[in-house]
Amino acid sequence: MKTFKALSALLSYPSEELQAAIPAIREVLDSEGLVPADLRRGMEPLLSAMAGDDIYALQERYVLLFDRSRTLSLNLFEHIHGESRDRGGAMVDLLETYRAGGFDLHGPELPDHLPVLLEFLANRPLPEAREILADAGPIIAVLAERLARRETDYAPVMATLAALANAASDSPESAAMLDVPDDDPEDLEALDAVYQEAQVTFAPDPNAGCPISRDILAKMDVPMTPARAGTAQ
């Protein structure tokens, strides 16, 4: 369903193309009716900001929130495997799932990057998409809780995914992840220490975040956004 593409776009690095796509994203969210009404209303501040705010301010907020806060990383396996070898095996399994579904991953995005997963789910039958999303439910519930704590406009988007996955932050798995203190994106020394660890590399620039996936906006009659400056094409 296009709702998953719309949510993927909203969780991607902001661009002028994304700003232009906001009316189409609104239409998809409203017409498919997959998003609970209260959460759809809650998305409106983010949609309005995406449509009207300065693009550089949007990008700065995104980077501060998702790229410089490891406890809010959109690379899902990082929350359960860190940079261990287990993460590599999980990545391989996920890539095989994508390929079995006819989905080829291109560009700098890691397979476990949430917007990439959502793009894949948009091409699967809804029951299957919900089942796969439920597998990541504990992580998504934790991200939703942490975003809500920070009172960010992105919180309703993640809460929508938690609802679609039927996931709650009081599960044992989520509770264990929530025991990890939220990191401070302004603490550059701590951030540098974290990212001096060995990285699991599946593509160029694994920390760069996710530009909008190649056919998310194309399916909404909006040109594909270019990759973030400095990332591999």
Residue pLDDT, tens place only, 155-176: 999 999 999 998 776 666 655 5
Query: Contact at 8 Å (CB) between 21 and 10?
Result: no
| Position 183 confidence tier, pLDDT thresholds 50, 70, 90 | low
pLDDT in tens, 43-89: 999 999 999 999 999 999 999 999 888 889 898 887 775 555 566 66
CA separation for the pair 190, 185 (Å, rounded): 9
Question: Is a pLDDT exceeding 50 seen at residue 204?
Answer: no
pTM for the full model?
A: 0.76
Q: What pLDDT is stored for residue 148 in this prediction?
A: 92
Q: What pLDDT is stored for residue 83 in this prediction?
A: 58
Question: 8-17, 78-87, 175-184 — which one is most confidently predicted on average?
Answer: 8-17
Assign 107 to helix, strand or coil: coil
Where b means 16+ CB within 10 Å and e means fewer, 130-159 reads: bebbeebbbbbbbbbbbbeeeebbbbbbbb
**Sole residue written with tokens 């809804």:** 126
Q: What pLDDT is stored for residue 219 in this prediction?
A: 46
For the chain, give percent helix, strand, coil, nearest 5.
Answer: 60, 0, 40
